[in-house]
Amino acid sequence: MAISLLKRFLCMWFRKAPLILIPICLTIYVQAQSCLPIDSAFQRSSLRGCLLAFTDSTNSRNVSDLDLNRFYPVQRPNFGTDGLAHWLTFTCENTTANPKHLVVEVDIVYADEMSFYVLADSKVIQKIEHDSWRVPIWKRTIQSRYFAFPLDIQPHQHVRVYIHGQEHSGTLLMPVTVWDKAAFETYALTQTIAFATPAATLLILALASLVLFLFFPNVIWIFYAVHAVGTAIYTLNIEGFMAHYAPAPLNQIKGYAIGVSTSWIANLLFTQHFVYKRLTKPVNWIVAINYGVVAVQSIWLLYLLIMPFKGNSASVALWMTGLTASFIFCCLLICLGRGSREARFYLVAITPFLLSILIRVLASANVITTQSWHYYARYYTPLFEIIVLGVGAIRQLIRERETTLIQLDNAQKEIISAQETERRRLAQDLHDDIGTSLIALRGKLPADSPDAQHLLDQIITDVRAVSHNLMPDELATLGLTVAVAEAARRLQEASHIRLFFVSAGEVVALSQAAELAAYRAVLELLHNVVRHSKATEAVVQLVYHPDGLNITIEDNGQGFPIKKGDKPGGIGLKSVASRTEWLGGKMAIDSSGAGTTIRLDIPYESRTS
């Protein structure tokens, strides 16, 4: 009988033992594995293999009600968007003979509830309760953008740490790191600089683009600025800067989604002006769909501004980012196939950013494991994109201005050419028709009318002078220097002003068009001296320097008022300035009651050469 009972007891024991021993062994194993030793060389630990988690579905438990048997091991806690209360715990022991000052950091910005408890011998020796993202950074025990709590352990003391977190409107991630206090302070400063730098750079770029818009009005600079500001808002919000220093709704968890949506709207419009509108053959359906995507993003942005940020809003924001980025990428490939230089440039700019988005989408779908460098890529790849796009927009502006200048030069050249053609026609008419008619008229005048004969001879001389000035023969045959000297001689004979001509340096022949333009400018200035200066003497200088021609006209007349930086007001001076600019030169005027000096500096390698 006794043997039978013993056999039955042993059979029941071997059947039930696993059910009894496994939880006990698991508890002993978990507690043994969860202990973190703190030695003298300790700097940091991510609690790999030490961290346990428990989800309180009732949202009612406190630290004294917790049952360690219900905790399970976790590596990088991600509790999703369930809105429940979650607990983390680990133990650590100071193995040194000196007190250790540590910091427990929970790498999350937006949490509605975050509490911290330290237990020694089952008694709470330290606690910080009801911390949240709404608590200003300056009121926190440790002034960190993330949740950070002090952990002071006495020599050879063993403690258990509990962390309680809850988030109602977003994803609750609670990666925990234990730091040596000095190491944490260095790390926090480094991280602040690392994440603030791209945001600050983006804001500077936005300001620079607005300045460019003032000087070169083009709506593309507005889109560029909004794109940069939206990306900066995203960075500052995700990293907790805006949680403590910005107004609502930018200081809330949905602030990053607002920044992203704003950035995408501006990005889509920027792409349209930078790429689509510059195609040789416009693709109308791309423009139409682009406006459609802008409309969808605008509706989403309006929703974010008005409605609360629910648990699935973060996923919607991520998928909208992925779809918008994919649309832009596909459109750029189509434009690249059509030979768009801007599309190629844009693809270089946006490809790293698109890869970082792909990594985030795959990580969100648990296809890949997120690495530490992925985290930095989400901030620096958008910065790279915006910098490269800014360079591209500036290059595009320079090309457009060069094209405009070439068009203006061509137009001005055509105008000058037309003027010269008309001058030749007038000179020919004056010489052949009117001059011949006047000579014929002189032969028919009575011999006893000397006054009429003298007047007619003066008219013939004036007509020949006008005809010669319109088309000087010596300019084409002898060059600019002789033509200017001859013009100065004729004007001296026709006026009461003593005109002196000076030429210095080795004469350099300009192109026919350049010499004609320079001659017209000098002639206009000499006529101004004769008509308006009331001068008694004037000097014309042509100085041939190694790199350019300097023309100076100086008189001792009454001068005229002119302020520094003012443009010439008279039609004649405007004509001279226009011709000088067309020659690639510069015009300077210095005038006072003692006289006027006008200087023209003309390079030999002008646009007309």
> Cβ of 153: how many Cβ atoms within 10 Å?
21
Which pLDDT tens digit goes with each residue over 312-351?
788 888 889 889 988 999 999 999 998 898 999 899 998 8
| pLDDT tens string 204-243 | 999 999 999 999 899 999 999 999 999 999 999 988 888 8
- The most confident of the ranges 76-80, 181-185, 475-479 is 181-185
Phi, psi angles (nearest 5°) of residue 94? -80, 110
Band (pLDDT 50/70/90 cuts) for residue 441 is low
φ, ψ of residue 242 to 5 degrees: the values are: -75, -20
Q: What is the pLDDT averaged over residues 17-40?
A: 54
Can you give the pTM of this predicted structure? 0.67
pLDDT reported for residue 608: 45
d(CA 500, CA 142): 85
428 confidence band (pLDDT: 50, 70, 90) = low
Q: Which amino acid is at 307?
A: M
Q: Tokens 């020694």 — which residue?
A: 120
Residue 411 structure tokens: 């137009």
Is the pLDDT higher at 324 or at 441? 324
Contacts of 182 (CB under 8 A, 6+ apart): none
- With a CB cutoff of 8 Å and minimum separation 6, the contacts of 353 are 325, 381, 382, 384, 385
Check residue 541 and give its pLDDT: 92
Can you give the pLDDT at residue 238? 86
pLDDT in tens, 105-159: 999 988 999 999 999 988 999 999 999 988 888 889 998 889 999 999 999 999 9
HSE at residue 89, side-chain half, CA atoms within 13 A, is: 22
| % of the chain residues with pLDDT over 90 | 36
pLDDT at 540: 92
Radius of gyration of the chain (CA): 43
* Rounded-to-integer distance, Cα 469 and Cα 524, Å: 11
Alpha helix positions (H), 499-568 = 512-532
Strand order from edge to edge, sheet including 548-555:
498-504, 537-544, 548-555, 595-603, 586-592
Give residue-wise pLDDT tens across range 414-427. 766 666 666 666 76
Q: How much is the pLDDT for 466? A: 64
Q: Are 386 and 231 in contact (CB under 8 A)?
A: yes
Residue from 172, 161, 196, 170 nearest 89 by CA: 161
Of 104, 81, 58, the closest CA to residue 167 belongs to 81
Rounded CA-CA distance 81/549 in Å is 77
| HSE-up (13 A, CA, CB side) for residue 587 | 22
Q: Give the integer Cα–Cα distance in Å for 326 and 324.
A: 5
- Mean pLDDT of the residues in the chain: 83
Residue 304 CA to residue 255 CA, distance in Å, equals 8
Q: What stretch of H or E contains 550?
A: strand 548-555
Reference 179, options 160, 154, 152; nearest CA is 152
Q: Per-residue DSSP letters for 161-190?
A: EEEEEE-SSS--B--EEEEEHHHHHHHHHH
pLDDT at residue number 37: 93
Q: Cα 176–178–184 angle (5° rounding)?
A: 110
Q: Which residues of 156-194 are buried (b: 16+ CB within 10 A; e: fewer)?
A: ebebbbbbbbbbbbbbbbbbbbbbbeeebeebbeeeeee
* Phi-psi sector, 134: left (phi>0), alpha (psi -120 to 50), beta: alpha
Inter-CA distances, 521 with 471, 581, 609, Å: 14, 11, 17
Q: Rounded to the nearest 5°, which phi and psi values hold at 404?
A: -65, -40
Give the pair of three-digit tokens for residue 180.
Answer: 């040596």
Query: What is the C-alpha separation between 207 and 191, in angstroms, rounded?
Result: 25
Please state, in angstroms and rounded to a whole number, the distance separating the CA atoms of residues 385 and 392: 10
Q: Which of 219, 582, 213 is nearest to 405 (CA)?
A: 582
User: Which residues sit opposite 576 in a β-bridge?
Assistant: none
The Cβ of residue 3 has, within 10 Å, a number of other Cβ atoms equal to: 7
Asked if 431 and 470 count as a contact pair (C-beta separation under 8 A), the reply is no
Q: Which of 21-35, 109-123, 506-520, 521-535 has the highest mean pLDDT?
A: 109-123
pLDDT for 558 beyond 90: no
> For residue 479, which amino acid is it?
G
Q: For residue 85, what are its two tokens?
A: 């209360």
Task: For residue 598, give the amino acid letter.
Answer: I
| Rounded CA separation 537/560 (Å) | 17
* 41-54 pLDDT per residue, tens: 999 999 988 999 99
pLDDT at 471: 60
Q: State whether residue 457 is helix, strand or coil.
A: helix
Per residue in 56-89, pLDDT tens? 988 888 898 899 999 999 988 988 888 899 999 9
What's the farthest any 2 CA atoms get from each other in the chain?
179
Instruction: Give the span between the Cα atoms of 271 and 279, in whole angstroms.
Output: 12
| Total residue count of the chain as it appears in this document | 609
CA distance 491 to 527: 8
> Omega before 249 cis (within 30°)?
yes
User: What span, in angstroms and rounded, lies between the C-alpha atoms of 329 and 410?
Assistant: 39
User: What separation in angstroms does the CA of 340 have from each of 228, 332, 345?
Assistant: 24, 9, 9
Q: What is the pLDDT of residue 29?
A: 41
Confidence of residue 1 (pLDDT cuts 50, 70, 90): very low
Q: What are phi and psi of 335, to 5 degrees?
A: -65, -35
